[in-house]
Amino acid sequence: MIHMEQVNYSYQKTPVLNQVTLHESEPIISAIWGRNGAGKTTMMSLLAGHNRPDSGTVQIMGQDPYNNLAAQEHLCYIQENHPLGKNWTVSDMVQMGQYFHPQ
């Protein structure tokens, strides 16, 4: 399902992710929690295929998600600055996601 292996990513010369490894073999709804600047948004951006890692591998359902609509069909990524209402609940988000991903 989700496979990240030894992923590194930097903005210019500032490292953000260093040797990140993540394996998730079951279909899940998950959240990433951490303090500001920990690399949460960067990691999700890599999983969503918005960026490519400097090194290491990122795969969604066995495919590289970068510019790959087939891989991106298997995830729903909502950034913290989403254009939806500020009063939306997690339940609202899940319901919205079901329009795009019925499973």
pLDDT, averaged per 10 consecutive residues of the chain (103 residues), comes to 95 94 85 87 92 96 91 75 73 79 69
Q: What is the set of domains in the chain, with CATH numbers?
A: 2-100 (3.40.50.300)
Q: How confident is the model at residue 89, as a pLDDT?
A: 82
Q: How confident is the model at residue 11, as a pLDDT?
A: 93
* Residue labelled with tokens 């989403």: 82
The CA-based diameter of the chain, rounded to the nearest angstrom, is 41
